[in-house]
Every structure is written in structure tokens, then in C-alpha cells.
Chains A and B, each alone.
Chain A
Amino acid sequence: MNEYSQIDRVLQRYHYDSKALVNILQEVQETCKGRYISEATAEYVAERLDVTKSNVYEVVTFFAALREHPVGEVLIQLCNSTVCKVKKNIEVKNALEEALGIQMGETTKDKKFTLQYTTCFGACDVSPAVRVNKVVYGNLDRETTLALIAKLRREHCE
């Protein structure tokens, strides 16, 4: 069970308390390749916490912060709620898709970048905004978006 040792460490920290399932899965997800909860991982967590597989699966599919599919090394989430729409997030969307050569919802072939829409993450004062691996970048337009992608490429692709 070597591959699960990191998962065990998270479970230990939470004293195998199934009440903390939502938080446990968030931490487990970060330790997994592709940063998602695979069926095997879900099954393992369910077994160790002595809860049903369907309980774990329901939680994974219910919460937006938990993923059932792998994402790239750099997860870029563009806010698509009202304020960012009003603040022309379409320009940011176009710039992101153009710079990365993929559409929203897709991952680049080298598995480096994933583009997604997300709902409001409370950065409306710097709208339009994205989250890059959870870190917020705001006040974006076409130029600053292209510069952001260039910076991320330097950090992750070289």
C-alpha cells in the first residue's frame, strides 16, 4: 500500500474521523497525481473511514472543489459569474484560449494547463479575475492575461 501512504498520513491527521470527509478529500486530492479523486482513491478512503463508497462518491461529485477527473499542472479557473461577465471576462477567455490553443474545459496535450470556468470566488473588486492553482489574479484584460500565461509558461515549462 505504498502509493497510499500519503493518503494515510492525511487520514491520520484527521484521526480517521469520517465527519471531516469533505476536508480530508480536499487534502487527499492535492497529494494525488492529476489532483483528482480517482475511483480507486475514493474506494480506499471509504474503506479506511468505514463509510460507504457511495457516500464518498456523492461528496466528490457534489462539491466543486473536489474533482473526479484529472487536471493539468496549472489549473486556470476563470470566473464566469455576473460581475466578471459585466467586466468583460470574454476578453480574458479569448486571450486564454488563444495563448494556450485549447478551449475552456480542456487540458493541453502536455498536461501542463487546464482551462475551466468557475463560479464567483469573491474577487469582484478586482474583476475580471482568474484563479491559478487557487491563487487569484485580477484586473485582467487581453494584455495582462497574455503576460500571465507567458509568466506561467516560464515557471512551469522551462
Chain B
Amino acid sequence: MNRIQQLITANFDRYDGKDIEAYIRLGGFTAIKKAVEQGSDYVIDELKLAGIKGRGGAAYPTWKKWDAGRRRVAEQKFVICNADEGEPGTFKDREILKKDPYKVIEGMMISAYIFGAKKGFVYIREEYWDIQKTFKKAIEKANEAGYLGEGILGTDFDFTLEVFSGAGAYVCGEGSSLIESMEGHAGRPRIKSPRIGEKGYLGYPTLVNNVETLAGVTRILEMGASEYARYGTEKSKGTKVISVSGNVNRPGVYEVPFGVSLREIVYDVAGGVENDRPVKFLQLGGISGPLVPGSALDTKYAYETLDEKGFTVGSGSVVVVDDNNRIIDYLVSVSDFFYHESCGKCTPCREGKRQLTRLLKKFVDGTARLEDVNAIEKVANTMKHASFCGLGQTAPTAILSALKYFMPELWQLVEEGVHENVAEGEWK
């Protein structure tokens, strides 16, 4: 099995991401043609066969989401591409948007056609301001070429597309927060139900998909689902676009078939660890994902094998950390991030993050005691179960996995702290 594949990223570096004619020469807009000709049942069946799941991190089967969505009747419906890629360690959508924007636009056209939307938005994070500019130009060109606008492909399919800029809020990666910010409000999550699929933007049914999911849908229809499904494993079909970073020799965006091992990703795909040091741990799926100890490197990168061990594919980020790093420093960094990004709406997340940050810093200061470990566990579990949205629920994931795999190192900090404080006469 080849460790690197180019299905979703097939067009990378084969055109400059601007030239729509070049995109068409590479087979562009054949997927939307198929969708229009064969109808929505065909598309749903293809997506089901391809087994593609939401690539932003939630991993909900795309066909299910689309199938439920297309049946909803409403005066207006909207589609949104979530390009608010905010999970630290994740930058694969950045590359897709930059190197093959038309594949995403085509994916949005397909989603709009199936869902019954006439209007779509691409919500791109503020940090990718340069991509917002090139994407707006790509939309213009698609308009001029008649792929957007009225009567697309000589049918009665009308669809227009607009870019909306995020403004630097991690929580807006969550669908309802994203929509709140598009309506002129702070990006705080809405209560469910209704889900945004029923009542989203301006109260109308809204279908939100991640950048890679949309590019993937285009590719699947282009090549045929049965061909796509030949890659990957039985339960995780196809490929995944991953972002590899941290202590590796060749950080970057790669497309791998599901089923490669984590070891292959680190050593064969990303060129191994800097200075040949051992892998201490990986963090998978973004900052909200678990830590994977170096001893688990032979785990296969697929939904079922990762889930089984409590790990996750998530956003597809693989942060590699070598043995020069202390687990506590990494956890403090994770905790600081969530403390900064908690929207403050619900108490478990807002106050839980404050307490976790305070408790973790005691380990750094050498003032942590036995009961602090228990307190961390209690606060982390409370957040996991009682937080309002995914942010708070997943914020303690890294910490909980560290308690599972790196307890001896944390204990050592407690013991060293005790000795130090006794020596300084501060221990009471």
C-alpha cells in the first residue's frame, strides 16, 4: 500500500489554483454534471458507498446529513462551507482552499443542488485573509464562466456564493456559533434542538460542511465511489488529508489512505523525528484530541482502530512531540488555549478551564499535591459531561489522556515539589 495517495489533493500543484480553464481541463465540473444528470438519489448512494464522514472532526456520515437535509421543505435554504479551520495543528483546509479552490466551489454546488439551496457562504477564518482574497476571485471567475449564478449547466439550478470572514474565535468552528457570527452577533453556540439543519442561518435549514468534505464529495463523484472505496480499510474507506507538525523533519499536508500506521505517518510520510529522538507522544485530531503515547505508534490510522483505543481522527492533525518536552508544559499550553477560547456562556467550561489552568500551573511551580491530581480529574470529567457545546466537552480530552498515560511523570513533579518545599521549609 502506498503511504501517500493523491485523490482529494489530485490537483495540487497541477494548476495554480486561479485558472478555472485549467481546472476544467483537469476534469473540473464533471462531478456537478453527474449530480445534475443522475439526480440526488444517485449522489446519496455514491456518498454512502464511499463512506465519507465529516472531515472537520465530527465524523458524521455525510450521506446521512445530506439525506435528512434534502427532505426538509422550507421557503429558503442555505449551504455553508466551514473554512474556519481553528484546531491548533490543523492546516490542511488552508492548502485545499489555496491549491484547489474550484474543487471546494464544485462541492458546494453539489451540496446546494442536493439540499435545495440557492445561496451559499464560505466562512473562512480571518487568519487566512489572503485566501479569502483568492477565493473571492475564484468565485468571480466561476460566475463569469456560468458555473455560479442563474440557470447553471442549462438547468433551472440557481446558486450564488459569498465569502464571510471569521474574526478569530475558535468556538465559531462549531456550526451554530458560526451562524451566530454571520448574523452579527458574538459567536456563542445555540441550544439544540433545533439543529441548524432544521433552523440555521436566519432560522432556515442550513447545511454546513467542512472544506475537505466538500472537496472529497467532488472527487468521489468524479472518480466514482466504488473506485474511491478501494482505498482505505473496510470501515474507513478512502483517504484522509492530514496536517503533520511538531518535532518532525518534514511537517506539512499529506493525503494518506486510512489504515496506514501512525508510525508510517511519522517516519515515512513526515520524514521521522528531528535529531532522531524518540516520539514521546502525538496529539491527534486537534487540540481537543487525545494524546497518543509513543508506545501506540503501531496503531492504524482509521476511525475504528483509533476509536477502539480512545483516540480520534478528528480534524486530521498529527502533532508529533519528542522526549525533550515535558508533558506538563504541553498540558499547560492546551489549557491556556481553551481558557482563552472558552466563550464564557456556560459555567462548566468557563470556570472549569480557569480551575484546570490554575491546577496545572501548580505542577509547574512545584506546589502541586496529591489532592490536586484528583481535583484535575474531577474538574475535567465535569467539563466533559456538563459543558454546553463541543468546545467545553472536548477541552479536557488531552488532560484526561495524560492522566491515563503519563501519570508517573506527573507524580514525579508532585514528589519533587514536596522535597523542594520541605527543603525550603515551606511545606506545612
Contact = CB atoms under 8 A, between A and B. Distances in A.
Interface of A: 18-23, 25-26, 51, 55, 58-59, 62-66, 80-83, 85-87, 119-127, 131, 134
A34 B390 CA distance: 36
Interface in B333-355: 333-334, 336-337, 340-341, 343
Nearest to B251: A125
Interface of B: 85-91, 94, 125-129, 164-170, 181-188, 243, 245-247, 251-253, 283, 287, 317, 319, 321, 325, 329-330, 333-334, 336-337, 340-341, 343
A20 B185 CA distance: 9
A85 B245 contact: no
Given A22-B167, A122-B127, A124-B243, A55 B325 contact: no
B319 A65 contact: no
The 3 A-B residue pairs whose C-beta atoms are closest, nearest first, are A64-B168, A120-B88, A63-B167
A86 B246 contact: yes
A156 B128 CA distance: 24
Given A19-B183, A87-B246, A124 B91 contact: yes
A119 B184 contact: no
8 contacts: A20-B164, A26-B167, A64-B169, A65-B167, A121-B127, A122-B128, A124-B89, A125-B243
Given A51-B184, A124-B88, 9 more contacts: A20-B184, A62-B343, A66-B168, A81-B287, A120-B86, A121-B127, A122-B94, A124-B245, A124-B246
Nearest to A83: B245
Most buried by B among A51, A64, A66, A122: A122
Contacts of A86: 246-247, 319, 321, 325, 330
Contact of A122 (B90, B185, B329): B90
A69 B131 CA distance: 27
A131 B166 CA distance: 17
A87 B247 CA distance: 7
Contacts of A80: 333, 336
Contact of B187 (A63, A121, A134): A63
Contacts of B287: 81-82, 120
Contacts of A19: 182-184
A140 B169 CA distance: 25
Contacts of B321: 86
Contact of B91 (A58, A122, A134): A122
A114 B187 CA distance: 27
B349 to A, nearest CB: 15
A83 B89 contact: yes
Specify the main secondary structure of chain A where it touches its partner: helix
Contacts of A63: 167-169, 181, 186-187
Contacts of B329: 85
B185 A55 contact: yes
A16 to B, nearest CB: 12
A98 to B, nearest CB: 22
B343 to A, nearest CB: 7
Contacts of A85: 329-330, 333
Contact of A83 (B246, B253, B340): B246
Nearest to B186: A62
Nearest to B126: A65
A26 B165 contact: yes
Nearest to B167: A63
Contacts of B181: 22, 63
Contacts of B183: 19
B94 A127 contact: no
B64 to A, nearest CB: 29
Given A26-B165, A134-B129, A82 B319 contact: yes
Contacts of A83: 88-89, 245-246, 319
Contacts of B251: 124-127
Q: Which of A83, A121, A126 is most buried by chain B, counting CB atoms within 10 A of its CB?
A: A83
A92 to B, nearest CB: 15
Given A55-B185, A82-B88, A122-B128, A127 B245 contact: yes
A58 to B, nearest CB: 5
Contacts of B125: 122
Contacts of A126: 251
Contacts of B185: 21, 55, 58-59
| Most chain B Cβ neighbours within 10 Å, of A80, A120, A121 | A120
Contacts of B182: 19, 22
A22 B245 CA distance: 31
A81 B88 contact: yes
A79 B91 CA distance: 14
Nearest to A27: B165
A139 to B, nearest CB: 10
Contacts of B336: 80
B305 to A, nearest CB: 24
B236 to A, nearest CB: 24
